[in-house]
């Protein structure tokens, strides 16, 4: 049995991605802090197909020990696809941002993603049919005011993942590494970034996608041979494309 791991699966894009992969008869391993939300999602998937294996793993990816413990706990599974979706943002100027929140954001958005990507690649890069998909952002390619620190974490995700994709390609590894880069999406992101109790996208945002739409874009990326699936920040069209950052391949001996 092969499995798809999705982090940050308790809400938003991760939640809808779990349903999307399950709709393709993929066994899923769902990771998030909120175990009650994961149980609700498991029940929903079970109701769609009682034969689907749904594994839930509660973990706080801002804690390095839990990141490593999570990966170790999955050694018994054959992981076909790994989706690093977990992450959160901050919306304030650097002069006003809470340092503790930024430190936690760095641990989740950068450290946990890099650690899990590295462990997965080291174990599975030589296996046919495997994919690593990291969720970056449109602001992993541009820097918005009041989002400098968050954008910087996503610049790292984009650069790391694009580089990893090309590094494995040059080494002839069969694993495919890809990036999903959403723009504004109707999730809990704004609530966390701005520390709000409620927020209406339809009342406050001119253009956005639903999490369900983004999950379908993720599947389109999964099915493609392209490295980057990016939402155009102006038109909001979804585009499949080659890597954007320049990559210098390893010099081959004469």
State the CATH number of the domain containing residue 209. 3.40.50.720
Gap between the Cα atoms of 212 and 138, Å rounded: 18
Q: Is 254 inside any structural domain?
A: no
Q: Residue 80 above 70 pLDDT?
A: yes
Q: Is 251 inside any structural domain?
A: no
Q: Is 250 inside any structural domain?
A: no
- What is the length of the chain? 254
Q: What is the tens place of the pLDDT at every residue in 11-27? A: 999 999 999 999 999 99
Q: Residue 198 above 80 pLDDT?
A: no
Give strand ranges (E) for 27-75. 27-32, 54-58
Q: Is 253 inside any structural domain?
A: no
Gap between the Cα atoms of 142 and 181, Å rounded: 12
Q: Is 170 inside any structural domain?
A: yes
Q: Is 201 inside any structural domain?
A: yes
Domain with 174, as residue range(s), is 2-241
CA distances from 221 to 126, 178, 179, 239, 241 (A): 21, 8, 8, 9, 10
Give strand ranges (E) for the chain. 2-7, 27-32, 54-58, 78-84, 131-135, 176-181, 185-186, 209-210, 228-231, 238-241
**DSSP assignment string, 193-229:** HHT-S---HHHH-SS-EEHHHHHHHHHHHHHSS-SEE
- Annotate 113-144 with b (16+ C-beta within 10 A) or e (fewer): bbbbbebbbeebbeeeebbbbbbbbbbbbeee
Q: What is the tens place of the pLDDT at every residue in 141-167? A: 999 999 999 999 999 999 999 999 999
Average pLDDT, the chain: 93
> In this predicted structure, what is the pLDDT of residue 254?
64
> In this predicted structure, what is the pLDDT of residue 193?
63
Please tell me which residue, 39 or 199, carries the higher pLDDT value: 39
Task: Indicate yes or no: pTM above 0.85.
Answer: yes
210 closest CA partner among 231, 194, 179: 231
> In this predicted structure, what is the pLDDT of residue 91?
86
Q: Is 102 inside any structural domain?
A: yes
Q: Is 105 inside any structural domain?
A: yes
Mean pLDDT is lowest, of 163-177, 215-229, 239-253, for 239-253
Gap between the Cα atoms of 12 and 17, Å rounded: 9
Answer yes or no: are the C-beta atoms of 79 and 124 closer than 8 Å: yes
Q: Stretch 43-65: mean pLDDT, rounded?
A: 92
Q: Stretch 106-118: mean pLDDT, rounded?
A: 98
The tally of domains found in the chain comes to 1
> In this predicted structure, what is the pLDDT of residue 48?
84
């Amino acid at each position: 049995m092969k499995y798809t791991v999705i982090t940050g699966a308790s809400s938003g894009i991760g939640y809808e991605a779990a349903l999307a992969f399950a709709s393709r008869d993929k066994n899923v391993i769902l990771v998030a802090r909120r175990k009650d939300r994961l149980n609700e999602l498991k029940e929903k998937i079970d109701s769609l197909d009682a034969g689907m294996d749904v594994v839930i793993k509660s973990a706080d990816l801002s804690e390095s020990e839990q990141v490593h413990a999570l990966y170790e706990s999955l050694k018994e599974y054959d992981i076909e696809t790994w989706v690093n979706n977990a992450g959160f943002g901050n919306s304030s100027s650097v002069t006003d941002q809470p340092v503790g929140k930024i430190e936690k954001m760095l641990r989740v958005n950068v450290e946990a993603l890099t650690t899990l990507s590295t462990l997965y690649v080291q174990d599975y890069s030589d296996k046919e049919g495997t994919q690593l998909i990291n969720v970056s952002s449109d602001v992993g390619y541009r820097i918005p005011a009041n989002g400098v620190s968050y954008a910087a974490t996503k610049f790292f995700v984009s650069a790391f993942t694009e580089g990893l994709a090309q590094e494995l390609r040059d080494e002839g590894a069969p694993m495919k590494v890809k990036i999903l880069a959403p723009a504004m999406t109707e999730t809990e992101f704004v609530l966390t970034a701005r520390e709000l109790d409620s927020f209406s996208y339809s009342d406050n945002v001119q253009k956005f996608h639903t999490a369900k739409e983004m999950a379908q874009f993720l599947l389109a990326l999964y099915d493609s041979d392209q490295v980057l699936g990016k939402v155009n920040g102006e038109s909001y069209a979804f585009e499949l494309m080659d890597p954007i950052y320049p990559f210098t391949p390893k010099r081959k001996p004469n």
